[in-house]
Amino acid sequence: MRADKQSDWGRVAQDGTVYVKAGDGERSVGQYPEGTPEEALAFFTNRYDALAFEVHLLEQRIVAEKLSPEEASASVKGLREQVVNANAVGDLTALAARLDATAPVLASQREARRAEKAQRAAESKVDKEKVVAEAEKLAEGNDWRGGANRLRDLLDQWKALPRLDKSTDDTLWRRFSGARTTYTRRRKAHFAVEHEKRDGAREIKERLATEAEELATSTDWGPTAGKYRDLMRDWKAAGAAARDVDDELWKRFRSAQDAFFGARDAANAELDREFAANAEVKEAILLEAEKLVPVTDLDAAKKTFRELADRWDAAGKVPRDRMKDLEARIRAVEQAIRAVEDDQWKRTDPEKSARADDIVGKLEAGIVDEQAKLEKARAAGDDRRVKQLEESLANKQAFLDMAKQASADYS
C-alpha cells in the first residue's frame, strides 16, 4: 500500500483519493488511482491554478471597468460558487475571499454609475426641453420649408438622447409630438390655400394671355399699347401659378406682347424715315426764330414769330427722337419773347403807375412838413429835436428817391 502524500492544501490517501483542506477539516475532491501521489496532487493543483487565473482575470476586468457592476456581480457570484465547490487543491478560502473583496469596488462603481446616469439624465432633460421649445416655436411660425427640415433634425436629436424617467419623458414627448402635429396641420392648411391661389392665378393668367394674343395684330398703336400696360398690371397683381404653368403662360403673354410692339416699332421707324424731311424744315425755321433773341423790337419779334409758328405747324410731324429737342428750342424762343412782353406790361401798368405817383406825392408832402418842423427846432435851439428831425428827414428823402425811381419805371 502507498503512504499518504501531503501538501500545504491537500493530501492523497493510499487509495488514490485526493482531499483539500476546508476550514478546520478536509473534503474529498476526487480520485487519481492511476498515477503517483505527486501526479494526483499536481492534477488537482492545476485545477486550482486555473481557478486562481480566472479570479485574477475577473479582478482585472472589474478594476478596469470592462464589465458593468451588474455583470461583474453575476460573474463574481458564479465564480465564487465554482471556487467554494471546486474539486481542486489550493487555498480556496483565499480565492473566495479575493472574490468577496470585490464587493466594495463594485458598490463604488454602482454609485459612480448612478451619479453618471443622473448627470446624463439631467443633461438629457435640458437638451430635450430645448428640442421641445424649438419645436413649439417652429409650430407657431410660418417657415413652411425650412421648418419641416428642422423638425426632422429635432426628431433625430430626440431619438439620440438618453431616456428620462417615464413620467418626465412622456410629458416632454407629448409636447414635442404636439408641436410637430400643430406645425404639420398649419403647413398643410397654408399650402392648401397657396394651391387655391395658384389655381386662381392660373385662370386669370390664361385669360390675360388670350387677351394679349388677340391684341397682337392690332395697328391701333396708342390705345392698344395702353391695353397692354393694363394687362401687365393685372398679370403682376394675379400672383404666381404653378411654376411650369406660370412659365408657359408667360411665354404666350410675352410672345403676343413682343409681336405687337415689334410691329409698332417697325411702323414708327417707317414714319420716322418719312418725317426726317420735316425735321430739316423745322431746323431751318429754328435758325430764323433763334435770331429774334435777344428781343430788341418787341412788336416786330412777335409778328415774325407768329409767321414762323404757322410755318412750324405746317411742316408736320418729326421723328420721335428729334421731337423733344426741336420743341424745346422753339418754346425757348417763344418764352423769351413773352418774357420781354410781360416785363414791358409790368412797366406800363396804369394802376401800378398811379400807385407809384401817389406814394411820391405823399412822401414829398411829408418832407415839406418835416423841413418846417426842423426850422422851428433850430430856431428854438432844441439840439436833440433837431437831430431827430434831421435823421427822419434823411430817411424820408431816401424813400422818396426809391419811389421816384419806381414811378419812372412805369412811365
The predicted structure's pLDDT at residue 364: 80
Q: What's the pLDDT at 192?
A: 86
Residue 54 pLDDT level (bands cut at 50, 70, 90)? very high
Residue 8, by phi and psi: left (phi above 0), alpha (psi -120 to 50) or beta? alpha
Range 202-213 average pLDDT: 88
* Interatomic CA distance for residues 29 and 109, integer angstroms: 36
Q: Which of 169-178, 272-281, 339-348, 353-362 has the highest mean pLDDT?
A: 169-178
In which band, very low, low, confident or very high, does the pLDDT at 195 lie, cut at 50, 70 and 90? confident
Backbone angles phi, psi at 19, to 5 degrees: -120, 150
pLDDT value at residue 56: 96
**Model pLDDT for residues 275-333, shown as the tens digit of each residue:** 888 888 988 998 888 888 888 888 888 899 899 899 999 988 888 888 899 899 989 98
d(CA 176, CA 164): 15
Query: At which residue does the C-alpha cell 427722337 appear?
Result: 321
Query: What number is the average pLDDT over the span 147-159?
Result: 91
pLDDT tens track for 95-147: 999 999 999 999 999 999 888 888 888 888 899 899 999 998 998 989 888 88
**Which cell numbers in the block locate residue 186?**
398649419
Cis bond leading into 294, ω under 30°? yes
Query: What average pLDDT score do residues 340-345 get?
Result: 85
The confidence band for 411, taking pLDDT boundaries of 50, 70 and 90, is low
Please, where are the H alpha helices in 220-349? 221-237, 243-290, 298-315, 320-347
Q: How many degrees, rounded to 5, is the angle at CA 345 between CA 341 and CA 351?
A: 170
Q: Are 128 and 164 in contact (CB under 8 A)?
A: yes
Mean pLDDT of 177-206: 88
pTM above 0.95, yes or no: no
**Is the model's pLDDT at 4 over the cut of 80?**
no
Query: Higher confidence at residue 367 or residue 155?
Result: 155
How many C-beta atoms lie closer than 10 Å to residue 235's C-beta?
20
Give the pLDDT band (50/70/90) at residue 262: very high
CB 215 within 8 A of CB 257: no
**Mean of the per-residue pLDDT values for the chain?**
87
Q: Which residue has the higher pLDDT, 16 or 23?
A: 16
Place of cell 458593468: 68
**C-alpha to C-alpha distance for 411 and 398, rounded to whole angstroms:** 20
In the block, cell 428640442 appears at 131
- pLDDT higher than 90, residue 352: no
pLDDT band at 1 (very low <50, low <70, confident <90, very high): very low
Which cell numbers hold the place of 372? Answer: 418846417
pLDDT at 2: 41
Percentage of the residues of the chain whose pLDDT score is greater than 70 = 95
C-alpha cell at 229: 400696360
